[in-house]
Amino acid sequence: MLVIMNREATEEQLRNAIDAIEKMGLKAHPIPGSMRTAIGITGNKGPLEPALFESLDGVVQAIPVSKPYKLVSRETKTENTVIDFSSTSIGGRELTIIAGPCAVESREQIFLAAEKAKEAGATILRGGAFKPRTSPYAFQGLGEEGLRLLAEAGKSVGLPVVSEVIDAESVGLAEKYVDIMQIGARNMQNFVLLKRVGKVKQAVMLKRGMSATLEEFLMSAEYILSEGNYRVFLCERGVRTFTDFTRNTLDISIIPAVKRLSHLPIITDPSHGTGRREKVLPMARASIAAGADGVMVEMHPEPEKALSDGFQSLYPRQLVTLCEELHRIAPIIGRV
């Protein structure tokens, strides 16, 4: 249910409406808009009667939300969500370029990567510290030390940082170091983890599961918002198909589909989406042209020495080219 407040509704009327909703045993999610405030309601077991809310002071209308996902739906919030950080934002006019190595490997590596990312024009630095690898024998990441180095490297160049969390313990650690928590493809439907990051103050980047439908993807985002964290953005990272010339198939068509159904920002990850560095740049261009709010790419100062995902990691000079090309595409589609 979506409760729409009157344009002239006062703060007090809004507070009273929220109190009344909570007294009914429901959860109220205030959604400020440029014209008026709405309140999303969750926690109901069955259908709700609009009249129950329309009689509250300052309320114009109560509208049942037809989609199974409520808070992430455009029905609930028509305006695009913009997630602000001190130096940048995600989902506004400015394109987001997240770059950095698959994994933090050493102080030298992440500081050099940070410098190269910043120089090229990236807006956010990435680096994995907890790596969910296919093989238990592969490099698993540096853990807390990796988070600490990433945070220091980000600070040294003035970029916010993103890193993956895989369980409650890593969330607890990441709360001390990162600006954005990444939920990886393999954990897109780890509902316990989704609820946990619904309670942190950091933004959350939710990656699409490798065989997740659009509805499953949005329902997973709904888990996070339903716990009160509205700073969520989506990342298309490729899905499993029969093609054998790429690691995954980057599903660019999900961008307009998400934009139609949800107000959340969506970026793509052409690195994991293709698995080969020569395919990253064309797919990044295509993503932006298709309306994505940005891209996340892996870049390593020395890709041949990378402990993970070297084949898909850009050389620093390739990131420069990527940024230059995206800067040229941006104005054509009304972005900067």
The contact set with ligand PEP (CB under 6 A) reads 102, 128, 164, 184-186, 207, 237, 272
* 3 state SS of 182: strand
- The CB-of-104 to ligand PEP minimum distance in angstroms stands at 11
Rank residues 75 and 269 by Cβ distance to ligand PEP and give the closer one.
269
The crossing angle, in degrees rounded to 10, of helices 316-329 and 277-289 is: 20
Rank residues 9 and 255 by Cβ distance to ligand PEP and give the closer one.
255
Query: Taking CB under 5 A as the criterion, which residues in 82-121 touch Mn ion?
Result: 102
Alpha-carbon span 234 to 203, nearest angstrom: 11
- The CB-of-235 to ligand PEP minimum distance in angstroms stands at 7
Give the residue closest to Mn ion by C-beta.
102
Length of the chain: 336
Token pair 């969910």 is found at 132
Rank residues 41 and 283 by Cβ distance to ligand PEP and give the closer one.
283
277 binds, among ligand PEP, Mn ion, none (CB under 5 to 8 A by kind): none
259 binds, among Mn ion, ligand PEP, none (CB under 5 to 8 A by kind): none
Rank residues 77 and 300 by Cβ distance to ligand PEP and give the closer one.
300
Q: For residue 111, give Cα distances in angstroms to 126, 144, 322.
A: 12, 16, 21
- The CB-of-228 to Mn ion minimum distance in angstroms stands at 30
Q: Return phi, psi of residue 63, to 5°.
A: -120, 125
- The CB-of-184 to Mn ion minimum distance in angstroms stands at 9
Query: Taking CB under 5 A as the criterion, which residues in 287-316 touch Mn ion?
Result: 309
- The CB-of-196 to ligand PEP minimum distance in angstroms stands at 17
Q: Judge contact between 59 and 3, C-beta under 8 A.
A: yes
Rank residues 184 and 265 by Cβ distance to ligand PEP and give the closer one.
184
Rank residues 75 and 236 by Cβ distance to ligand PEP and give the closer one.
236
- The CB-of-106 to ligand PEP minimum distance in angstroms stands at 17
Rank residues 56 and 295 by Cβ distance to Mn ion and give the closer one.
295
Q: Return phi, psi of residue 296, to 5°.
A: -120, 125
Q: Count CA atoms within 13 Å of residue 279 on its CB side.
A: 17
* 3 state SS of 280: helix
Give the residue closest to ligand PEP by C-beta.
184
Alpha-carbon span 201 to 198, nearest angstrom: 8
Does residue 222 bind Mn ion (CB under 5 A)? no
Residues that contact Mn ion, how many (by CB under 5 A): 2
Q: Judge contact between 91 and 267, C-beta under 8 A.
A: no
For 318, residues 6+ apart whose C-beta sits below 8 A from its C-beta are 277, 280, 281, 299
265 binds, among Mn ion, ligand PEP, none (CB under 5 to 8 A by kind): none
Dump strand ranges (E) for the chain: 2-5, 27-32, 37-42, 59-63, 83-84, 89-90, 96-100, 124-126, 161-164, 180-183, 203-207, 232-236, 266-268, 294-298
- The CB-of-44 to ligand PEP minimum distance in angstroms stands at 33
Rank residues 30 and 310 by Cβ distance to Mn ion and give the closer one.
310
237 binds, among Mn ion, ligand PEP, none (CB under 5 to 8 A by kind): ligand PEP
116 binds, among ligand PEP, Mn ion, none (CB under 5 to 8 A by kind): none
Q: Judge contact between 2 and 76, C-beta under 8 A.
A: yes
Alpha-carbon span 137 to 116, nearest angstrom: 30
- The CB-of-214 to ligand PEP minimum distance in angstroms stands at 17
Q: Which residues bind Mn ion (CB under 5 A)?
A: 102, 309
